[in-house]
């Protein structure tokens, strides 16, 4: 256990023996009643100690309440899908899309101390406008509710409806429009949050850690030091994989008072994009994960799917494919089911180890911070290269208007943004990117969010420097964009070039430093007493 937190456990233990304390006091009084001075002196020590303890017990003995709900957020078909460069229209549902919601509340003597709402969504990203609409719905249903405590994240499935405006040339007729989906989504999520809030009851929580080989670092490095996303590894020029892989599976379990598992938060550093090329609605690997866990534990289990920092990770195999595929075939599993098998094994393995270490009187502290991060600046060379590329793309579309479906995003967002940012830089020399982060302490663990597709190294630095026993890093709790490391920028290619990044390594380091600072503040004793 974390040394910094051991005092909490100690206090809780002492609080469990009030009768022993009273007995000792009684014996002291009886023994010393004939010695008035000594009696007075000694009597004051336990009384003083008890009053000190009671202050601390009050500071830590909060009761946890948990409420959950799950809601179907599958859009009306046909619908345009988000995630690829080209336009895709889905006309069928492979699996339903869900949002899973868990509301946590800590109370002291029936007084609300802290609230947190987790909303995990089967979407590609969480645009700010979408979150705003959800907050407004919650505000209408639960007036006075602190909507700032809503943490909404996307699993990054590439087979969910388009939620980013002006990215794809979506037909104006016979296809669900973005604003209609926003409205549908906000109403459903708002009601589901209310349902979770209304259903909250005293519960228990614990956490644990296991590993699963799910995410592969997807950037191959070559002899000339260049890097490539999904680059070939079976060629002589291949020199290695660019960065680290985070294969931790962090699990957070919640039980109700009857001992039924009602929710599990699972952080896997791998975006849910195994079937990213499909033309159908699909929750990717989270669907079989949920089915499997619900079959084992509870048919209504809330499964909060969190994606750990994984800007440079994906479920696609980068090497050793023959061996992996052979095993999958021997197991008669689809690739999605194979991924789910590994995650479920890790979660169940963790569950078996930690299930008896449940807590109800934990600290719940939820802090948010609006950060200003320096944006990655566009160089003149990059600007000119984008201008050239845009001309080429426009010529292609002019020659074949149907090519617009394939090229519009590249033209308008990918290259077009470079032009717009460069022009903006002339007015605003040091543009900043506003990023909201959440840091939530639950007992000995912490959950910290960021809005990016954050490269793994940043998350490793946060985990290494965090005072928490376990640190759940949750990416894409916001609108996204890759945040690459310095070595990735040097290597180049998609995900580490100006077109892919609003924020660069300088901002990444700042994000790490400020997140760690905020986390570690929650382990500061005086801070804890203040917030309680």
Partner 1 sequence: MNVHLLCKTLFYSIIFFFLISCKEKEVDNSSQMYIGWASENTTPNVPVIIHGQFHARVSEGIMDPVTATALAIESIDGQSSKKVILISCDLVFITDELRDAVRKRVTESLPEIKPEEIILNATHTHSGPQYSASREVIKETTDNITQTSNIKSTYGIELEAMEFSDCLDFLTINISKTAKRAWKNRKPGGISYGLGHAAVGNNRLQSGVSGKSQMYGNTNRKDFSHIEGYEDHSVNLLFTWDNKKNITGVVVNLACPSQVSEGDYLISADFWHETRIEIKKRIGEELFILPQCSAAGDQSPHLMIEKKAKERMQQLMFPGTESGRNSSGRRKQIAMHIADAVTSVLHYTKNNIEWNPIFEHKVETIEISRRLIEIEDVNNAMKEAKEWEKKFEKMLFDITENPEMKEKPRWYLEITRTHRLMLRSLGVKERYEKQKMQPRLPIEIHVLRIGNIAMATNPFEYYVDYGMQIKARSPAIQTFLVQLAGSGSYVPTNRSISGGAYGAVPTSTLVGPEGGYELAEETLKLIDEVWEK
Site of interaction with partner 1 (CB under 8 A)? 1-2, 208-213, 217, 233-236, 238-241, 243-245, 247-248, 250, 318-320, 322-324, 326-327, 330-331, 342, 345, 349-350, 353-354, 356-357, 457, 460-461, 463-465, 468-471, 485, 509, 513
C-alpha 112/C-alpha 136 separation (Å) is 22
Q: 308 vs 416, which CB is nearer to partner 1?
A: 308
**Which residues does residue 454 pair with via DSSP β-bridges, in sequence order?**
483
221 close to 493: Cβ distance less than 8 angstroms: no
Q: 349 vs 361, which CB is nearer to partner 1?
A: 349
Q: How far is the CB of 388 from partner 1 (least distance, A)?
A: 33
Q: 170 vs 212, which CB is nearer to partner 1?
A: 212
Q: How far is the CB of 512 from partner 1 (least distance, A)?
A: 9
Q: How far is the CB of 115 from partner 1 (least distance, A)?
A: 26
C-alpha 433/C-alpha 511 separation (Å) is 11
Q: 314 vs 386, which CB is nearer to partner 1?
A: 314
Q: How far is the CB of 319 from partner 1 (least distance, A)?
A: 4
Q: Which element (helix H / strand E) includes 208?
A: strand 201-211
Contacts of 226 (CB under 8 A, 6+ apart): 491, 492, 493
Q: 282 vs 463, which CB is nearer to partner 1?
A: 463
Kind of pairing between the strands at 482-483 and 453-454:
parallel
Q: Residue 517: count other Cβ atoms within 10 Å of its Cβ.
A: 12
Q: 193 vs 261, which CB is nearer to partner 1?
A: 261
Distances (CA, A) of 521 to 181, 504, 518: 39, 26, 5
Q: How remote is the C-alpha of 388 from its chain's centroid?
A: 38
Q: 173 vs 332, which CB is nearer to partner 1?
A: 332
Q: How far is the CB of 364 from partner 1 (least distance, A)?
A: 19
Q: How far is the CB of 434 from partner 1 (least distance, A)?
A: 24
Q: What are phi and psi of 496, to 5 degrees?
A: -130, 15
Distances (CA, A) of 268 to 175, 214, 220, 272, 307: 33, 8, 21, 10, 5
Q: How far is the CB of 344 from partner 1 (least distance, A)?
A: 12
Burial class (CB in 10 A: 0-12, 13-18, 19+), 30: exposed
């Amino acid at each position: 256990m974390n040394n910094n937190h051991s005092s909490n456990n100690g206090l809780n233990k002492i609080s469990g023996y009030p009768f022993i304390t009273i007995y000792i006091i009684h014996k002291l009084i009886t023994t010393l009643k004939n010695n008035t001075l000594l009696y007075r002196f000694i009597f004051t020590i336990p009384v003083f100690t008890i009053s000190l303890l009671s202050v601390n017990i009050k500071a830590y003995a909060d009761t946890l309440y948990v409420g959950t709900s799950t809601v179907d957020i599958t859009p009306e078909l046909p619908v345009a899908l988000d995630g690829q460069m080209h336009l895709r229209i889905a006309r069928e549902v492979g699996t339903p899309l869900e949002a899973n919601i868990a509301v946590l509340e800590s109370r002291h003597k029936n007084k609300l101390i802290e609230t947190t709402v987790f909303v995990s969504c089967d979407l590609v990203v969480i645009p700010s406008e979408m979150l705003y609409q959800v907050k407004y719905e919650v505000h209408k249903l639960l007036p006075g509710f602190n909507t700032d405590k809503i943490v909404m994240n996307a699993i990054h499935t590439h087979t969910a409806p388009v939620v980013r405006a002006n990215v794809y040339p979506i037909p104006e007729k016979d296809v669900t429009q973005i604003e209609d989906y926003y409205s549908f989504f906000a109403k459903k999520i708002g009601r589901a949050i209310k349902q979770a809030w209304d259903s909250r009851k005293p519960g228990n929580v614990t956490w644990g850690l296991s590993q699963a080989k799910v995410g592969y670092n997807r950037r191959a490095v070559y002899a000339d030091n260049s890097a490539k996303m999904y680059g070939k590894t079976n060629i002589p020029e291949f020199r290695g994989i660019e960065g680290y892989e985070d294969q931790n599976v962090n699990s957070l379990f919640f039980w109700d008072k009857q001992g039924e598992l009602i929710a599990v938060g699972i952080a896997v550093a791998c975006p849910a994009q195994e079937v990213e090329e499909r033309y159908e609605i699909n929750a990717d690997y989270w669907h079989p994960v949920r089915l499997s866990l619900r079959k084992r534990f509870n048919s209504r289990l809330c499964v909060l799917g969190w994606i750990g920092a994984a800007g440079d990770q994906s479920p696609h195999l980068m090497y050793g494919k023959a061996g992996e595929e052979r095993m999958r075939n021997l197991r008669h599993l689809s690739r999605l089911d194979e991924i789910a098998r590994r995650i479920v094994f890790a979660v169940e393995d963790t569950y078996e180890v930690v299930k008896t270490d449940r807590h109800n009187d934990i600290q719940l502290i939820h802090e948010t911070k609006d950060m200003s991060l320096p944006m990655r600046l566009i160089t003149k060379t990059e600007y000119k290269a984008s201008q050239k590329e845009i001309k080429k793309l426009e010529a292609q579309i002019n020659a074949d208007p149907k090519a617009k479906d394939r090229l519009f995003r590249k033209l308008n967002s990918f290259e077009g943004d470079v032009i717009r940012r460069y022009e903006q830089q002339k007015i605003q020399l040091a543009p900043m990117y506003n990023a909201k982060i959440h840091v939530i302490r639950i007992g000995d663990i912490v959950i910290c969010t960021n809005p990016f597709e954050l490269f793994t190294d940043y998350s490793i630095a946060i985990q290494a420097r965090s005072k928490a026993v376990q640190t759940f890093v949750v990416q894409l709790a916001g609108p996204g964009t890759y945040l690459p490391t310095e070595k990735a920028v040097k290597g180049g290619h998609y995900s580490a070039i100006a077109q892919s990044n609003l924020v660069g390594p300088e901002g990444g380091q700042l994000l790490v430093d400020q997140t760690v600072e905020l986390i570690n503040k929650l382990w500061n004793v005086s801070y804890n007493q203040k917030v309680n």
